[in-house]
Structure 1
Amino acid sequence: MPAPVRDVRHLGDFSATPRMILITALALPIGAVAAGVAWCLLRLIGLVTNAVFYQRVGTGLVAPGATDHPWWLVLLAPVVGGLVIGLMARYGSEKIRGHGMPETIEAILMNGSRIQPRVAVLKPLSAAVAIGTGGPFGAEGPIIATGGSIGSLFAQFLHLTADERKTLLVAGATAGMAATFNAPLASLALAVELLLFEWRPRSLVPVAAAVSIATVLRHPLLGSGALFPTVGDLHVTTSTYLLCVVSGVVSALLAVVATGLVYASEDAFHKLPIHWMWWPAIGGLVIGIGGLFVPQALGVGYNVIGAELDGSIGLGLVAGILIVKTLIWALSLGSGTSGGVLAPVFMIGGALGTLEAHVFPTVGPGFWALVGLAGVLGGVMRSPFTGVIFALELTQRFDALLPLLIGCTTAFALSVLLLKRSVLTEKIARRGYHLTREYDVDPLEVLFVSEVMSEEVLELRADLDVAAAYEALGDPADAASDWRQQLYPVVTDDGELLGLVARADLLEAGSAGRGSTPVKDLLTVDRVQTHGDQTLRHAAETMAVHGVTTLPVVDRDDPARVIGLISLPQLLAARRRDQQEARDRERVLRIRRVAPAGR
């Protein structure tokens, strides 16, 4: 039987409205301000680093371990930085603790995208202190949190919905990230994979606009070239792709270990019999001890990442980086200090790949470091597209696209099988919240009302009284009687719809002794309805908005004619079909063997 032909011209691929243009216009200045914030934070980190480790005034980014420092300075500087952060968190805002992205996600999902103004000021200051005193963190997490705070504060001064505030918050967050790394596409991918929790033009277009303007403004502020430029040709063979799978597996295992260390450290700090204000100082002591062994593990470490990706780093140093950086980053992050995760993950993944380069065949300078970087990033953050695109934009090594895709996807696949949550979402789960990062088409968006509605509708004449309705409908206690219908259309002698009577209202009138009351006097004031060519999602949203569980389905061309009823049980039909498609296995095609006659 052929499928019914419906007029679906009222439906579209997307649900965008002209208001999207307004939100896009609002996102542009947010993107511009976020670029300025990224520049200021990087300069602030440089100022603190120069003052603490080199006793000079300067704002250029320098590595804490680039030269020899007194042992007591390396040991105590992170401790002092931790004390300052603890005081800022205790007497300023506890929201500055952590690496930025989980706090941003929490604000989006649980707080209507509202962020306190003080966070916008204290977060970059705390991050500058943490990283500038040797903390092995990245600037991107605090920049994301600060850019998001600016977008949120700007939105809170306007008459906007929570979804529109979310869009502007994410616009500021990703714009700051794009300005930091000169990676607009990776920043947009991160927005889709981690922050927006939707794929809709209403949010994607404004975020893309903010990211674009931030990247344009970055060029005169911080330069337009790749953050870690690479040179030399790649000689990729079939065996290279197979080894990328192996690299992805190892990267996933390292990501699992690093994630476990972060939260084992957090659990250990929670057991300490002292106030959390002192925890960052203890984390700073761990950093200082690690810095005594491998000073290059301190700070953001862009110089070390660059050396890994151009193949100029020594084997002994890279082994020390892999071990010490992983330990001090994971253990100190669990103390509740302030700093990001991307740059440390870049360094750790690059170190793993550099070690693999001493075992795997040579492909090109820094190739295996790049594959390891993308793999660990994909495993730690569980954002494979972000990992691949980040690696490409950071190095502009676009000829490594396929190997990166293989390695990063492999790491992502194994990571999601071994761990329920990432290093970002586990923190949210520990606060009693849950989020899913799986996107699929809503089954209610696929089925139409006409496919599941009940077409056997009992109508009541307008001149019928309650007593006669009781007699016609049968025993209310009988589940098989017509009382099972939730709503009864009330029509004239000509079949014209006057309104609806709820079953509950009929029962109440009958039990109150109002048998002579005409049913037309019980009509509901707000007559909510839907049409057969509407999607089940539209019907569900209509029920939610108006607080009803049953809707009359009327003819679009003749709204006075009821053609059916739809209630919550019918909506579950789409969910059941979705579950059956995911659960039920069947063989669709079979091979038929035709034998010669007589055999």
Structure 2
Amino acid sequence: MPYYKKYKIPLIWLRRHTSSRDFMLISSAIVGSLAGLSAVVLKVFVHYLHMLLAYGNRLLDQPVWLVVFPIIGILLTVFVVQVFFNGRIGRGTANILYSISQKSSMVERDKMYSHIITSGITAGFGGSAGLESPIVVTGSAIGSNYGRSYHLNYRDRTLLLACGAAAGIAAVFNAPIAGVLFAVEVLLTDISISAFIPLIIAAVVATLCSKIILNEEILFFVEKYEFFEAGNVPFYVLLGIMAGFLSVYYTRMVHRVEDLFEPYQDKVYYRALAGGLLLGLLIMLFPPLFGEGYGSVRLLESNNAQQLLQDSWLAFFGTNEWLVLCFVGALALVKVFATTITISAGGNGGNFAPSMFVGASLGYFFSKLVNLLEISRLPVSSFSMVGMAGILSGVMHSPLTAVFLIAEITGGYTLMIPLMIVSATSYAVVKYFEPYSLDTKKLAQKGQLLTHNKDRTILRIMEIRHLIETEFQPVSPEATLGELVEIIAHSRRNLFPVVSADGKLAGIILLENVREIMFKTEKYSTVKAKELMVKPPAVVQYNDSMADVMKKFDESGAWNLPVLRDEQYLGFVSKSSIFTKYRKLLIKTTTV
């Protein structure tokens, strides 16, 4: 017996002897543990690779290696993708949204490990991108393929996919609440209360895996909290507005840089080398762009931003507060370029960590500027933390995830009110200029973002071939009225396609149009079907999408439309069959 089948037997037995609900709860725990372990593997891989480069040979003591290593990492990532994954890897959360909408939540099996390898290489060698999106893809792939292995339906498979994504976020940040909210806000746009239970189980199990194995505590921690002061509310609102506009800038710059690399998609190694050199140049000017950036975020949060200039050429001018302030402000603007170049050049990573980097830089810059101008006395650490929530909310369009993620990873629940103020304000500003998030904008432009519109999602799942009705009795164009009357007498339909000898549709005959003449027996042999037929109000092609079919029904006002493939008559599709199928799929796809 194959190795993997031995481990399927207990779960197959459980599925047969437990209710669907109980099996889903057990499955969510399994998916959560697998996704949690995957996150642990990725974090350990990146940590030790970076330790080897940074401390093993002390290479990073020489600034030149800050430039060389990211180039090596991108080239190595491209090589792995081309050789082992056929040049296709499907980066980002958008790829998972596409799978939910277009592929019935089927995610390729190789995504259960390909993103761990490729993103680990990219980030480990100093690529300026985060690990969160790759682990979301990995966890989603685990959940999807688990559901496929046990032949679960679309609804349950989608829920387990979301469990994997929630578990990935929870394990990376040790933030189970944020993991659940991420799955709800980004992947599951329609969800009932009962579906929260599997998501919570998966997120908690994944967090425990991370905590037990890595023995990690809070990612960022401020030893002395400066409690929220109501008098600072106007400044938090202003920070939220700034975060909103910076998020718009972030989103638009990402797509512009991606468009610059678009013409070179087929020249993978040329693109990797050119992008790596550009990234190296940016890192040479701004060394904190090396890697994910969490170390820099910790410095900003602890109000030690002067250390960011340590390896910079600006260190020659000292650590004047205004110089540090300008440097941090510049970091907030150029980080988006470093991250997008890393990914567009062929590296693998996401925008979660970079968004937090930009947010912390913005919060520090704003609060420090107010303090230096002596307008007020703002807590720099607090503003750095809530700034992260503002950019996350604006870039990802997920304000609840942003609020609870920052609260969990910083232990900063005392800042819940300013977190909510900044996140909500930023989201409101961004939503006005950018209706879609960074990850979903291009999908929406292509008409492929369907998970956020239930009706369109179901129509996309439906296929014409499953709805064609063939019991309509065809009539030859040369058939006489007498022959037509005989056909009508034995038919239960009131519509008859007129089909030529070569199978092409010539027209249709409606019973109501021949009702008067069909009783005139003297015309039975003289009047032919081709004289009685009319042109159908519209024609459906076999490859038409259901959205196009429904548009044709609306424009024509018809109840039945003929279906053709290469001009050959196949049958009819009716509104009633579409509505029946729609109701069944609505029940099937609703997450409960």
Where does residue 24 of structure 1 map in the other structure?
A: 25
Distance in 2 between residues matched to 1:367 and 1:439, nearest whole Å: 39
Where does residue 40 of structure 1 map in the other structure?
A: 41
Question: Contact 1:382–1:412 (CA<8 Å) still a contact in 2?
Answer: yes
Deviation at 1:437, TM superposition (A): 4.0
Where does residue 134 of structure 1 map in the other structure?
A: 126
Deviation per CA, 1:366-391, whole angstroms, max 9, x where unpaired? 11111211111111111111111111
Deviation at 1:136, TM superposition (A): 1.1
Please point out which of 251, 261, 284 is paired with 2:253: 261
Question: Contact 2:170–2:207 (CA<8 Å) still a contact in 1?
Answer: yes
Matches within 5 A, 1:50-65: 50-55=51-56
Distance in 1 between residues matched to 2:278 and 2:171, nearest whole Å: 31
Distance in 2 between residues matched to 1:120 and 1:377, nearest whole Å: 26
Distance in 2 between residues matched to 1:209 and 1:286, nearest whole Å: 43
Please point out which of 326, 335, 342 is paired with 2:352: 342
Where does residue 297 of structure 1 map in the other structure?
A: 289
**SS of equivalent to 1:345:** helix
**SS of equivalent to 1:290:** helix
Question: Contact 1:134–1:287 (CA<8 Å) still a contact in 2?
Answer: no
Where does residue 171 of structure 1 map in the other structure?
A: 163
Matches within 5 A, 1:284-323: 284-314=276-306, 316=324, 318-323=328-333
* Range with greater deviation from structure 2 (21-30 or 320-329): 320-329
**SS of equivalent to 2:305:** coil
Distance in 2 between residues matched to 1:216 and 1:273, nearest whole Å: 41
**SS of equivalent to 1:271:** helix
Question: Contact 1:231–1:365 (CA<8 Å) still a contact in 2?
Answer: no
Deviation at 1:36, TM superposition (A): 0.8
One-letter amino acid of the structure 1 residue matched with residue 284 of structure 2: L
Distance in 2 between residues matched to 1:354 and 1:365, nearest whole Å: 6
Where does residue 204 of structure 2 map in the other structure?
A: 212
Where does residue 576 of structure 1 map in the other structure?
A: none
Distance in 2 between residues matched to 1:104 and 1:436, nearest whole Å: 10
Deviation at 1:504, TM superposition (A): 4.9
Deviation at 1:249, TM superposition (A): 0.9
Where does residue 540 of structure 1 map in the other structure?
A: none
Distance in 1 between residues matched to 2:453 and 2:510, nearest whole Å: 45
Deviation at 1:177, TM superposition (A): 1.2
Q: Percent identity?
A: 25
Distance in 1 between residues matched to 2:174 and 2:218, nearest whole Å: 7
**SS of equivalent to 1:366:** helix
Change (3 A) 1:247 1:172: same
One-letter amino acid of the structure 1 residue matched with residue 205 of structure 2: I
Deviation at 1:191, TM superposition (A): 0.6
Please point out which of 416, 421, 446 is paired with 1:401: 416
Matches within 5 A, 1:119-518: 119-201=111-193, 203-223=195-215, 225-272=217-264, 275-314=267-306, 316=324, 318-360=328-370, 361-364=376-379, 366-429=381-444, 432-435=447-450, 437=452, 504=495
Change (3 A) 1:35 1:265: same
Distance in 2 between residues matched to 1:300 and 1:247, nearest whole Å: 24
Gaps of 5+ in 2: 1-17, 307-320, 371-375, 456-491, 497-508, 520-558, 560-572, 584-592
Distance in 2 between residues matched to 1:403 and 1:340, nearest whole Å: 26
Please point out which of 55, 70, 78 is paired with 1:86: 78
Question: Contact 1:287–1:298 (CA<8 Å) still a contact in 2?
Answer: no
Change (3 A) 1:48 1:278: farther
Change (3 A) 1:318 1:68: farther
* Range with greater deviation from structure 2 (131-140 or 313-322): 313-322
Deviation at 1:246, TM superposition (A): 0.7
Deviation per CA, 1:215-268, whole angstroms, max 9, x where unpaired? 222221233532111232435444411111110111111111111111111111
Deviation per CA, 1:413-470, whole angstroms, max 9, x where unpaired? 1101111322111242465523464799xxxxxxxxxxxxxxxxxxxxxxxxxxxxxx
One-letter amino acid of the structure 2 residue matched with residue 332 of structure 1: T
One-letter amino acid of the structure 2 residue matched with residue 392 of structure 1: A
Question: Contact 1:78–1:281 (CA<8 Å) still a contact in 2?
Answer: no
Change (3 A) 1:97 1:273: closer
Deviation at 1:123, TM superposition (A): 1.2
Where does residue 504 of structure 2 map in the other structure?
A: none
Question: Contact 2:118–2:348 (CA<8 Å) still a contact in 1?
Answer: yes
Larger fraction in helix: 2
**SS of equivalent to 2:272:** helix
Distance in 1 between residues matched to 2:422 and 2:416, nearest whole Å: 10
Question: Contact 1:279–1:335 (CA<8 Å) still a contact in 2?
Answer: yes
**SS of equivalent to 2:226:** coil
Please point out which of 87, 93, 96 is paired with 2:89: 96
Where does residue 525 of structure 1 map in the other structure?
A: none
**SS of equivalent to 2:369:** coil
One-letter amino acid of the structure 2 residue matched with residue 331 of structure 1: I
Change (3 A) 1:318 1:502: same
* Cα RMSD after superposing both structures: 3.4
1:109 aligns with 2:101: yes
TM-score normalized by the length of structure 1: 0.67
Deviation at 1:54, TM superposition (A): 3.7
One-letter amino acid of the structure 2 residue matched with residue 162 of structure 1: Y
Deviation at 1:411, TM superposition (A): 0.5
Question: Contact 2:100–2:451 (CA<8 Å) still a contact in 1?
Answer: no
Change (3 A) 1:338 1:507: same
Deviation per CA, 1:527-572, whole angstroms, max 9, x where unpaired? xxxxxxxxxxxxxxxx9xxx86459xxxxxxxxxxxxxxx99xx9x
Distance in 2 between residues matched to 1:224 and 1:88, nearest whole Å: 31
One-letter amino acid of the structure 1 residue matched with residue 28 of structure 2: A
Question: Contact 1:248–1:407 (CA<8 Å) still a contact in 2?
Answer: yes
Where does residue 312 of structure 2 map in the other structure?
A: none
Distance in 1 between residues matched to 2:143 and 2:451, nearest whole Å: 24
Where does residue 59 of structure 1 map in the other structure?
A: none
One-letter amino acid of the structure 2 residue matched with residue 373 of structure 1: M
Distance in 1 between residues matched to 2:225 and 2:76, nearest whole Å: 47
What is the number of equivalent residue pairs in this alignment? Answer: 443
Distance in 1 between residues matched to 2:361 and 2:138, nearest whole Å: 29
Deviation per CA, 1:332-381, whole angstroms, max 9, x where unpaired? 33334200211111111001100111133334351111121111111111
Question: Contact 1:283–1:333 (CA<8 Å) still a contact in 2?
Answer: no
